Structure formats: structure tokens, C-alpha cells
Structure 1
Amino acid sequence: MRISPEQIDQLASGLPGMGRDPAAVRLRVETLEHLLERAFTIPGINRKVGMDALLGLVPVVGDIATAAMGAWIVWEARNLGMSKWQLARMMGNVGFDTAIGAIPVVGDLFDFAFRSNTRNLAIIRRHLDKHHPATVVVDAAPLSKS
């Protein structure tokens, strides 16, 4: 039995964050960026790191895996209809991160400092805020205790 694209869209629209609409894409990209760049905190120095830095410690396989996840973010941006210039800039961020990250030791240290996925998320957010203002998310700052 063949499933039509319309049926897939109907199924996906019922699941949170699984649709093709800009709000769902924003949610997926923000979630992946959080996982890749700031999912964990290093005790003692309170530095947030993610799977990009941790998988980068695994030679070759880790760099390929994180490059693939970064490329997926660019693919999602392409589906949003972003310009070729924005996509090229995003691919440049992923390519630069992958190339330098592949260098033993130096690349591992570089992964802690250069956050290509965070940079790409900023490009996507600017596009969505301009072209799809309904997707804007207001982050509430935590209230300070006085």
C-alpha cells in the first residue's frame, strides 16, 4: 500500500514539531542546536558543551556524524526558502567547523569555542523573524529573587 505525501503531511501535522510549517522547522532546528552545542555543563568551569564537542573527540566517525547533523540544519533552512547566500554561509560554517574539527587535539579544542550550529540557528531565526513573524518566540527571562 502506497502512502501519499498528503497522508504523510496529515500524520506529521498531528505530532508536535513534525510538520513542514515554519514554526515546526524552528522548533526542530532549535532543539538540534541545543543538543549539538549546549546540552551539558562541564562541572567546575560551568561551560556548556554539546554533542558536537563530545563526538568530536571520536576520530573520523564523530566528525562525520556532527557534520551530517549540521548539514541537516542547512537542509531544513533550504526547505524554508532561504537565499543561496544564506545557505552558502551556513554551509561555510559547517564546512569550516568540520575541517578544523578533524585536526587531532587542535580540532577538539576548536569545537569548544566555535559553534557553527549556533551561528546557523541565528541566520535561520533572522530569516524566520522577517519572513514568518508568527513563529517568533519570546523567551521569558527568569525572575530574580530580591
Structure 2
Amino acid sequence: MEPGTPAEGTRPEFGRPRAMGIEVPIGTDPVSIRRRIEAMEQLLENSFVIPGVNYRVGLDSIMGLVPVIGDFVSAAMGMYIVWEARNLGMPKWKLWRMTGNVALDTAVGAVPLVGDALDFVFRSNTRNLRIVKRHLDKHHPAARTIEG
């Protein structure tokens, strides 16, 4: 094996990148879109554990600690979930509700100190994932996954 090449079985297949140990498919089918949304939610809301208290946080909470720029970057990443939901053909009222969740999270997170504390509790991306899962379970039952 040449230096710098990954060990066998660790290299992702072409078109199947990995993010935080989650396979991220590139297709436009409902299952692929669901997995991408789940990966983004995992990254934004549950990627790290605070030692000692065993509380999970993500990039959304961490970026929110950076004044102004962090809130807008996390809002843009949250809007990616809304964009993917739009690709599923979800009704506009659900998309507006999801956008409202991101906007509320951004507005509250912009308030110094108090907003940062509330950002650890109000998880707009988890709420939006829940909306997408309900829609998929109802309209695309083949995209349903078993959660353990």
C-alpha cells in the first residue's frame, strides 16, 4: 500500500461521501434527501458532547457564540434543510413553518448571552427534521427508516 492512501474499506465510494460517520448519498430520491437532511441536522445539533454533563450540542450552538457572523452562517446551513425539503415537494406552508423556525433561532441567537443560552435549548434544525420525517412517512412510506 502506498503512503497516503486510505486503508482498504475506509475510502468512500464515488458519489457516496461520508460526513461525521454518516453516509451522505447524492441522489434526488426521497431516501437520499432524507439522509442528507439527517446528516445536516446531526452536524448542526448533535455533533459534540459537553464533557461532564453529557449534553449534546452541534455547530449551530457553537457558531452562535461568534457574534453576528456565526448566527448567519448557522442560519444558512439551517436553510439548506428547508431547501432540501422544497426539493421533496413539501407544501409551502410547511416550508414557511420551517423557515420560521430558522428565523426564530437566528433572531434569538443574535441576542448577546441570553440568545446563546437559548440556542442550546431551541433546536430549530431538529424541529425541521421532525416536520420532514412526518411528511415523508405520510407521502413517501418507502423512505421510512427504522430508528433505534
> Which residue is 2:52 aligned to?
44
Secondary structure of 1:41 counterpart: strand
Counterparts of 1:27-38 in structure 2, within 5 Å, are 27-38=35-46
Q: In structure 2, which of residues 106, 124, 132 is the aligned counterpart of residue 116 of structure 1? A: 124
SS in 2 for 1:113: coil
Residue among 56, 62, 65 paired with 1:54: 62
Q: Which has the higher helix share?
A: 1
d(CA) in 1 for partners of 2:103 and 2:41?
A: 16
Q: 1:100 aligns with which of 108, 115, 120?
A: 108
In 2, distance between residues paired with 1:84 and 1:27? 21
Larger CA deviation: 127-136 vs 14-23: 14-23
Ranges of 4+ aligned residues in structure 1 off by more than 6 Å: none
Partner secondary structure for residue 126 of structure 1: helix
Taking the aligned partners of 1:27 and 1:133, their CA distance within structure 2 comes to: 14
Equivalence map 1:1-146=2 (5 Å) = 15-16=15-16, 17-140=25-148
Tell me which amino acid in the other structure corresponds to 1:35: L
User: 1 CA distance for matches of 2:127 and 2:92?
Assistant: 16
Percent identity for Structure 1 against Structure 2: 60
> Following TM superposition, by how much is the alpha carbon of 1:15 offset from its aligned partner in structure 2, in angstroms?
2.0
Q: Secondary structure at the match of 1:100?
A: helix
> For residue 9 of structure 1, what is the aligned residue in structure 2?
none
The alignment partner of 2:120 has SS state of helix
2: distance between equivalents of 1:80 and 1:122? 14
SS of the aligned residue for 2:67 comes to coil
DSSP-derived class of the 1:86 partner: helix
Unaligned runs of 5+ in 1: 1-13, 141-146
Q: For this pair of structures, how many residues does the alignment match?
A: 127
TM-score, length-scaled by structure 2: 0.84
SS at 2:111's partner residue? coil
